[in-house]
Structure 1
Amino acid sequence: MLIGILAGLTTGALWGLAFVSPRAVAPFSAWDLTLARYVLFGLTSAVLMILPRFRPVMSRRQLVLGFLLGGFGNVGYFLSAAYAVQFAGAVLPLLIIGTSPVVLSLIANLREKAVSWRALLLPFALVLGGILTAHAGMPEPAQSTLGDRTWLGVLAALSAVGIWVVYGLGNSQILRAPDAPDVLGWTGLQGLGAAAGALILIPLLGLPNPEVASDADMQRFTAWVLVTSFLGCWFATLCWMVASNRLPMVLTALLIVAETGFGLLYGLIFEQRLPTTPEAIGIAMQLSGVILAILSFTRRPAAIETIAIGEIAPR
């Protein structure tokens, strides 16, 4: 269980890079960075498959599902989140999307019944309260900027939540099946799907011309592409698979709350400032919620053992 918890926290730490990387690559856009890192994610997966250990040896159904989950879960989620911010500003969509781990945990516990609802009540309250508090000080864009398209942003944000839930549940179900694929091959297969799905981003590219982007800009962009593709995509996805394989989904989803905390930390480092009071309190509440969730499971070894024997394929 400890390995699964560490893997889940590592996933959150690496996915948190997405909070700061688009700002760090200017004058390149988030679209440019996303296309580059997903394509490199796929290329990395393809190259690693030269080694038998990394090849996706599985049924045709699993091959198709893994490929589709890779494109749907990565590119579909990114597009929904990006358009949510574009149409509704930064605050409201991030608040909606920030509830994704809690929503996934709720649905997962309805299916798995891994822990009592009473034990989850306080962790859920702390995580949701922390999300609201951490974003309380963020400035809301002027209504004139948003116009009458805010409802489109809300729909896009809800779509992002839906995509994340479907991806998490589908991925977990496959990894806990008796014929569960190996996590290395499963990760690589999703990398191929993400690269294929990223091709739809080509019309949205806004690569700056050489007069705007200096050599230093290009070097910085290349460095961030390498970091976000190898660590933020391939290794983070592998860690997510390990966590999904070893832990009940209700706990795995809550561990991804760490993504928000690490994302804020990276942002503070990038902006070279200390957190505001709402940010500090919000992150402390989220961290407390995650710790309480972990304790609620470690105090119930019998329930975990039942899930591990009945639903998780042996490794």
Structure 2
Amino acid sequence: MLLGIVAGLITCALWGLTFIAPRAVAPLTAWDLTIARYGVFGLACLLLMADRRFRPVGMAPARLLTGLLLGGAGYVGYFISAAFAVQLAGAAVPPVIIGTMPVFLAIIANIRDRSASWKALTLPLTLIAIGVTIVNAATIGAADVADTPSILRGVLASSAALVIWIAYGLANAAVMRSADAPAGLQWTGLQGIGAAIGSLLLLPLASFDVANTASASEIASFVVWALVMGLAGSWFATWCWVIASRRLPLALAAQLMVAETVFGLAYGFMFEGRFPSPAEAIGVIMQFAGVCSAIAVFSKPAKLVQVSQQS
């Protein structure tokens, strides 16, 4: 259990970089970073497959296809959505919206398992909704009128990233908790190849002209970020998440993703060189309180089950 929690938190810290990487590589674009990041991810996986332990051998065709789709649609789709959300809406809005994912996954689990009453979920959902509204209203209210459409598009992109990540989390957890779950290194490699294939489809959108006019320091910064996001933010983070998905219940693993919001906001504010505004701080605190309240709701049935088993 402890190893799963540590692995989940490491994943959150690395995935939180998604909220600043697209802005750190300017003047190159999110498309460029997506192609480079997942190209590095896929290449690393292919090189590691020289060792048989890393090869996805013995998997059924349906399982192989699932892994490739998770890497392609899940990773590439999520990163593009999150990257454009940050560019359009700034540092605060995307992490807060995407950070509601733990509760949405808990709701889905409750629909399937009925582990908590809907009345008990009223408080956490209300807190989260208010928190998200405060942050978004404060950001839109402080923006110039000309920037408002951009922020609204950023909210839509954040919502798309949220939906993609929920679908990825459910599918990945289902595979890793199945009786014939693949080895973590093999599953990571398969997703890496899928992500690389997905990124290649974006090559027509690469800004080759900008790359030719960018300075040497800007190119160097882009290469560093591509390597960091490809090796640490993709390969290592995926492996850690596979470990967390295998060792933790989906509800608990999902709730750990609150840390991604915390890391993402911290990185974003550091990148912008500022502290959160009072409205942003209040909104984030309310969201965090809502998630903690949801955790409490979903932990009560588990405790009751343990007590009944012990008696």
TM-score (norm 2): 0.81
Contact 1:114 1:248 in 2 (8 A): no
Q: Deviations over 1:51-99 (max 9, x none)?
A: 232222322221111111110101223344566778xx52898465453
- Distance in 2 (CA, whole Å) between partners of 1:301 and 1:183 is 30
Structure 2 residue matching 1:138: 3-state secondary structure: helix
Q: Is this contact kept in 1: 2:245–2:253, CA < 8 A?
A: yes
**Paired residue secondary structure (1:177):** coil
Equivalent position of 1:312 in the other structure? none
* Residue 44 of structure 2: aligned partner: 44
* Count, aligned residues: 303
**Counterpart Cα distance in 2 of 1:255 and 1:18:** 17
How far apart are 1:292 and its partner, in Å?
A: 5.0
Distance 1:50 1:145 in 2: 50
Answer with 190-199 or 103-112: which moved more.
103-112
The one-letter amino acid of 1:109's match is N
Deviation at 1:281, TM superposition (A): 2.7
What are the ranges of 5 or more consecutive residues in structure 1 without an aligned counterpart?
307-315
Partner of 1:257: 258
Partners of 1:197 and 1:295 lie apart in 2 by 39
Amino acid at match of 1:32: D
Contact 1:127 1:289 (8 Å CA) reproduced: yes
Question: How far off its partner does 1:124 sit?
Answer: 4.3
Specify the SS of the correspondent of 1:223: helix
Q: Which residue of 1 aligns with 2:190?
A: 189
| d(CA) in 1 for partners of 2:249, 2:307 | 10
* 1:268 corresponds to: 269
What are the ranges of 5 or more consecutive residues in structure 2 without an aligned counterpart?
Answer: none
CA contact (8 A) 2:15 2:233 kept: yes
Q: Distance in 1 between matches of 2:129 and 2:273?
A: 27
Residue 286 to residue 55, structure 1, CA distance change in 2 (3 Å): farther
Alignment of 1:168-247 (within 5 A): 168-209=169-210, 212-247=213-248
In the superposition, relative to structure 1, how do residues 137 and 156 fare at CA in structure 2: closer, same or farther (>3 Å)? Answer: closer
CA distances 1:122-141 after superposition (whole Å, capped 9, x unpaired)? 55444444433444432466
Could you tell me whether the CA contact under 8 Å between 1:191 and 1:234 is conserved in 2?
yes
State the 1:219 CA deviation.
1.2
**Percent identity of paired positions between Structure 1 and Structure 2:** 50
Distance apart, 1:39 and its partner CA = 0.7
Quick one: structure 1 residues 298 and 3, their matched pair in 2 at CA, closer, same or farther if it must change by over 3 Å?
Answer: farther
Task: Indicate how the Cα distance of structure 1 residues 267 and 84 shifts in structure 2: closer, same or farther if over 3 A, else same.
Answer: closer
Shift of 1:2: 2.4
Matches within 5 A, 1:1-315: 1-57=1-57, 58-81=59-82, 89-90=88-89, 94=94, 97-113=98-114, 122-139=123-140, 158-209=159-210, 212-291=213-292, 300=302, 303=305
Task: Please give the root-mean-square deviation of Cα atoms over the aligned residues, in Å.
Answer: 3.4
